[in-house]
A and B are shown apart, each in its own frame.
Chain A
Amino acid sequence: MNPINSHSREVRELTSEKTGKIYGINGPVIYLKGKNGFKMSEMVYVGKERLVGEVISLDKDLTTIQVYEETSGLRPGEEVTASGAAVSVTLAPGILNNIFDGIERPLERIAESGGAFITRGVSVDELDKEKLWDTHMTVGIGDLVHGGMIIAEVPETRAIVHKCMVPPDVEGKVISVVPDGQYTIKDTLITLELADGTLKELSMTQRWPIRVPRPVSERYPASVPLVTGQRILDTMFPIAKGGTAAIPGGFGTGKTMTQHQIAKWSDADIIIYIGCGERGNEMTQVLEEFSELVDPKSGNPLMDRTALIANTSNMPVAAREASIYTGLTLAEYYRDMGYDVAIMADSTSRWAEALRELSGRLEEMPAEEGFPAYLASRLSAFYERAGMMQTLNGATGSVSIIGAVSPQGGDFSEPVTQNTKRFVRCFWGLDKSLAYARHFPAIHWLSSYSEYLNDLSGWYSDHVSPKFVDYRNRLMAILNQESSLMEIVKLIGGDVLPDDQKLILEIARVIRLGFLQQNAFHKDDTCVSLEKQFKMMDVILYLYKKSRRLVAMGMPMSVLKAEGIYEKVIAIKYDVPNDNLQLLDLYKRDIDEFYDRVVEKNA
């Protein structure tokens, strides 16, 4: 399928407007009888109110359309008009610091025209067509340009420079250029002479069909981590820039919180946050909070690097299915400019359920748990659009996808979790019992994994410390030993264990409470640099080393515990401010003193 830019689309609309008549209506699905020349995945306008819909199946005498808006009030016989183009998004400055519904209609504009409640058939521009943007042209007359090349730069927000590009399928010679100045997204910036001699005018705006990945030149292997400031993620289960991760967990285990934390603190340039079938209040919260919070890197409000797609659970189900692709396409567009983009998809299960709901309405043969058989292929196609890429203009950009999964009944064996697991390389499994004990983030260290660990170990030794991965593995080993020891403790109690095993339990406790647990509401603990993460590991392992020596000398654990050093180390996360990491060095001295004291007292 070829992308269709706005210009040729309008022409086509004028020349041949294809129409059909509604025959049947069943929830968000409507049927048309007879041939009408509609195309698969084409966007259509339904009925007098011109509700937006998409063609999802065609046969000789029946056309099936899913409608992105509430269908009550539609009558058989009303007209359906083809738009000539696949369901597409408009790409131009104005996307960031904005909130859209599932098909890229800005909610602010909808509110202006319809009030607090979202009415149907609202026709608003996707992006502000009147606003004047400061534009700096980067091409001159006579330049040969091809798809992806940057023709102009526009400071879109304080944090991000929007790079206007030639649409991927266009190539030609520049024959006129406007001077630097203020332009709207509709204004022609350059005129090209194409290979066949025809002229083509380019503005800042491109359109791109949401279900088609934007082309790139090359895909790079994962090599740089997406640093999130969350210890359990960065140290234990890191995700690469351009990587994919799934966060599955029952309700109340903290999927949304984890996504918020990553959206706030990760070192991506741009965040696309997709609220797919989730709570309205949560989207409001993101909007409020991100407008107030300051990006630690640039000092600007977080919203300046964020675009929100909100399709809350009570908005029409078909648009929920589309919202994921809309977000993905926006992300790819910014990737093509050379940015690192991270997508938060909350939640992919709602998207899968939207597929199931529509599939049920279409009376398709259900596979597992009523989900359609194409669930797996849709999921894989979605996650494969992530990656670290060389863009068409030679820059490097990435799209990382972090998808929340809401398994039914919190049971990870259900189809969405299982199929997602096959296509992501990072699995951050949330655990109910941790959440019940209010251990947050409730990511369970035994069931989670990251396949990026080896790919990224080189980066960690170059940029943090050569010992980083080794330390990380030692912490994991202690946690694993704890888990097997706990089996015994559950049967006979902890008192009968020998002291060296009691020590392992104690150190594991320090790791769990002091390192893995992280308080999102504490100013120093909410985001932690890799350097601090490394030093914390260093202190914990040093404590382990010294304690082991004491235990080997025959000191009982009760004596060691009485010194209070373990509590002190646990409190590092609160007691050492992020701007004063030298304090951490004092802890080793404290541990040495603790060692001497114990030896002295019990000699």
Chain B
Amino acid sequence: MAIEYLGLSSINEPLVVLEGVQDAFYDEIVEFVVDHKIHKMGRIVELDEDKAIIQVFEGTENMSLDNTHTKLTGRPMEVDVSPEMLGRTFNGIGEPIDGLGPITAADRRDINGLPLNPVKREYPRNYIRTGISAIDGLTTLIRGQKLPIFSGNGLPHDQLAAQIVKQASLGEGSDEEFAVVFGAMGVKHDVAEFFRRTFEESGVSDHVCMFLNLANDPVVERLITPKVALTVAEYLAFECNMHILVILTDMTSFAEAMREVSSSRGEIPSRKGYPGYLYSELATIYERAGIVEDSTGSVTQLPILTMPNDDITHPIPDLTGYITEGQVVLDRNLHGQAIYPPISILPSLSRLMKDGIGAGYTREDHQDLANQLFSAYAKVGEARNLASVIGEDELSPIDKQYLKFGEEFEKRYIGQGPKENRTILNTLDLGWELLGLLPKEELDRIDTKLVDKYYKKKEETDEEESES
């Protein structure tokens, strides 16, 4: 039995200091018993000989310098993993909160995980059809990718994520096992409820494992939640060979929690008060996506983050963008025009798209078509700027055509119903149909042969032109 220490030398929410500790190790988990009844957990974040600085997960309320018993557990932060976790709900540190009792652990895993050796990674190439044109056509999601949604408060990022889960899980029609691991950090109760309900309604809730740290739950716990969720995801993917989609929301709360803890430790802040290791910390989370050789499972990450003040250069979205393989950016302006999903396509990007589309995956024209749509839509922006200065009537005919294209593109290509599930061929053909609004000479990103094959001027565009 491990030694129990009585009392603490200082408490500074959310950290406590314990002196005279023996044989503690860095990153070890400790258990506290406050007043003989309240149980809490903590993690050693700094050691100076016999002085340990401990982060308390459940908050330091009720703790005093002499009512606390501390016990070293002799292990790092671990979580029980098991295939039965699907369909269950847990708190931010992996304890069941759905009243269905404890799970039978198949294994216990260190939540910090280990870096995946690049020589053992498999480069992701299979695309996931989400049924959303702006994503499938322009920022294709690839199995094993990490593709965050950059959003703002009040934008429908939750609906979008839920729609992706529903439609991606139903797609393919294959017998491969698909599951969702949902990690909520500091989200509002309503948001968690929304996801729970959506999963239930769409009949996927048996395949969902939820980790909830709500907005009023302890801040420190939030630092653990994504790691717990990913540990479970890795287990299900690489041991149980499932395809796992991990949704983490909201990464901004995670980073805020880090700043809070860092400043209470008196660390030297770098950008905007965030600790210098923000990049490394975010990377240890995001990099836990991918496919391992010799395993048929995969971990795909769809983190959601709300950009403070819609600012994409804020450290959180900025550092995230440098780690993740692209981003889907939501735009308030489109949202204001009641276009759903309000995906701002120009800053959105999928880095892995180029290798997962084209002949053999989607269709030969996909990449060129996407480039052309991006480029044409960039010109729409220029034409609109010009129109706002000199008025729409003064625009040259070609600029007017671009305005028309822009409007149709936003309404019909980006915009679609929250339940609308488009096939990839629908999406591609729609792209060509919209390009039909522009004269052929404007298509400068597409191989001439493909233009000849697919392009039809607007007047004569009719249905049916698929080819796989």
Contacts and interface: CB of A to CB of B under 8 A. Distances in A.
B206 interface: no
Interface in A401-440: 406, 408-411, 432-433, 436-439
B378 A436 contact: yes
Given A281-B123, A284-B123, A353-B276, A369 B270 contact: yes
Given A357-B277, A490-B389, A72 B270 contact: no
Interface in B86-123: 112-123
A142 interface: no
B194 interface: no
B313 A410 contact: yes
Given A116-B117, A410-B313, A490-B385, 17 more contacts: A24-B48, A75-B23, A76-B47, A76-B49, A99-B118, A118-B114, A250-B318, A283-B118, A360-B267, A366-B270, A370-B269, A436-B374, A437-B346, A438-B371, A439-B375, A489-B386, A571-B448
B25 A72 contact: yes
B190 interface: no
Interface in A274-291: 275, 277, 279-281, 283-285, 287-288
B144 interface: yes
A366 B268 contact: yes
B182 to A, nearest CB: 22
B367 interface: yes
Contacts of B292: 116
B260 interface: no
A492 B396 CA distance: 11
22 contacts: A23-B49, A72-B27, A75-B24, A111-B120, A114-B117, A117-B116, A118-B114, A280-B116, A281-B290, A281-B325, A285-B355, A287-B119, A314-B283, A353-B276, A356-B276, A357-B280, A361-B276, A437-B346, A438-B375, A492-B390, A493-B395, A567-B441
A25 B47 contact: yes
A521 B359 CA distance: 13
A437 B378 contact: yes
B353 to A, nearest CB: 12
B25 A73 contact: yes
B54 to A, nearest CB: 13
A570 to B, nearest CB: 6
B315 interface: yes
Interface string A97-114: 001000000011011001
B294 to A, nearest CB: 7
B284 A317 contact: no
Contacts of B226: none
Contact of B26 (A75, A313, A360): A75
Contacts of A491: 389-390
B114 A117 contact: yes
Given A72-B112, A280-B116, A437 B375 contact: yes
A288 B123 contact: yes
B374 A314 contact: no
A194 B387 CA distance: 82
Contacts of B288: 314
A74 B25 contact: yes
A65 interface: no
B1 to A, nearest CB: 19
B48 A23 contact: yes
3 nearest interchain CB pairs? A409-B313, A370-B270, A72-B27
Contacts of B117: 107, 110-111, 114, 116-118
A252 interface: yes
B270 A315 contact: no
A284 B315 CA distance: 27
Interface of B: 23-28, 46-50, 76, 112-124, 144-145, 238, 267-271, 275-277, 279-280, 283-284, 286-288, 290, 292-294, 312-315, 318, 321-323, 325-327, 346-347, 349, 351-352, 354-355, 367, 370-371, 374-375, 378-379, 385-386, 389-390, 394-396, 399, 441, 444-445, 447-448
B47 A494 contact: no
B441 A353 contact: no
A284 B374 contact: no
A522 B290 CA distance: 27
B279 A350 contact: yes
Contacts of A432: 347
B283 A313 contact: yes
A438 B46 CA distance: 47
Contacts of A314: 115-116, 280, 283-284, 287-288
A448 to B, nearest CB: 20
A67 B162 CA distance: 42
A169 to B, nearest CB: 35
Contacts of A409: 312-314, 318
Contact of B115 (A117, A281, A406): A117
Contacts of A119: 114
A292 to B, nearest CB: 11
Contacts of A110: 117
Contacts of A542: none
Contacts of B28: 73
A436 B290 CA distance: 26
Nearest to B25: A75
Contact of B276 (A25, A315, A359): A359
Nearest to A27: B277
Contacts of A250: 318, 321
Contacts of A288: 123
A197 interface: no
A70 interface: yes
A interface SS class:
mixed
A438 B374 contact: yes
Contacts, number: 225
B457 to A, nearest CB: 16
A521 B293 CA distance: 26
Nearest to A571: B448
A391 interface: no
Interface in A12-27: 23-27
A571 B448 CA distance: 9
A258 interface: no
A71 interface: yes
Given A76-B50, A310-B118, A116 B293 contact: yes
Given A288-B123, A314-B284, A350-B279, A281 B352 contact: yes
A181 interface: no
A304 B117 CA distance: 21
Contacts of B318: 250-251, 408-410
A251 B321 contact: yes
A307 to B, nearest CB: 14
B321 A118 contact: no
Contacts of B277: 27, 317, 357, 360
Given A71-B26, A281-B290, A493 B448 contact: no
A195 B379 CA distance: 74
A363 interface: yes
B323 A313 contact: yes
Contact of B448 (A280, A315, A522, A574): A574
A71 B112 CA distance: 12
B118 A25 contact: no
A223 B119 CA distance: 38
A495 B117 CA distance: 58
Given A438-B375, A571-B448, A574-B448, A118 B115 contact: yes
B276 A370 contact: yes
Nearest to B287: A314
Contact of B124 (A27, A281, A363): A281
A500 to B, nearest CB: 18
A411 B113 CA distance: 33
Q: Which of A24, A73, A314, A492 has the most CB of B within 10 A?
A: A314
A66 interface: no
A299 interface: no
A73 B76 contact: yes
Contacts of B374: 436-438
B396 A494 contact: yes
A356 B270 contact: yes
A266 interface: no
